Chain A
C-alpha cells in the first residue's frame, strides 16, 4: 500500500498565485485532515473531512478551501497565496476506531 501520498513535495509560489495541494490515500480511510507546520512549531489543523461530501474548518482555515468528492482524495486549494502561507503542509487520514493517523510526507510551500 502507498498509504498517504502528497504532491508536489516542493513548490514556490508568487504572491497572489493559486495552487492545489493534492492528497490521496488508498487505505479506505473515511477521515482525512490537512495540517500546516511553521518552523519550530507544532501542527495546526486547517480543514478536515469525515467522509465524501463532508468537510469542516479546523483551527486555521482562512485562505484555504477543500473538497472531498471521493473517499480517496482530499485536495487543499490556496486561492491567493500570501507570504504567511509559507509552511510545510501535511495530509493525514484514519478510520474511525482504528489506531492513530497515517501522515503523508508533506509539501514544502514557499510564497515570495
Chain B
C-alpha cells in the first residue's frame, strides 16, 4: 500500500470548516483513499473513502485531486466533538483491506471554542 503524509496537528475554530490534507504521491491507480478518526481512548471510526471522484456523506466530504496524489477531508461545520486524531490510509481493497489497514500517526485536529 502507498504511504501517506499528514501534518501532525491542526487547529480549527468551532463552526468553521476543517480541511485536513493528506499526501499520497505514490498511490497506484487501483488504490482507495480511506479516512478514519479516533476520539481519545476510543476505537477508530470509519469516516469516508474514495477512488477517483469526490465523495460526500453525512459526516464529511472527500476531495481527491485529479492526479490522485493528494486529498482533503472536509468537516463542513466543525464542533468540539470533532476533536480527534484523523488517519488518512491508502488501500487496494475496496472493503478496506482483507490483510489489514496500515495506520500512521495521523493528524491531531483540535477544535477551538
Q: Which of A40, A42, A103 sits near B104, CB closer than 8 Å?
A: A42
A52 CB to closest chain B CB, in angstroms?
15
Residues of B within 8 A of A104 (CB): 43
Q: Which of B42, B96, B102 sits near A100, CB closer than 8 Å?
A: B96
In the complex, per-residue mask of B3-47: 1 if CB is within 8 Å of any chain A CB, else 0: 000000000000000000000000000000010100001111111
Chain B interface residue bracket vs A: 20 to 34
Q: Which residue of B lies closest to A94 (CB)?
A: B96
Residues of A within 8 A of B34 (CB): 100
User: A41-B105, A42-B105 are contacts. A90–B43 as well, Cβ < 8 Å?
Assistant: yes
Asked if A33 contacts B95 (CB within 8 A), the reply is no
Chain B residues with a Cβ under 8 A of chain A: 34, 36, 41-47, 49, 87, 93-96, 98-106
Chain A residues with a Cβ under 8 A of chain B: 4, 31, 33, 35, 40-45, 48, 50, 56, 58, 88, 90, 92, 94-106
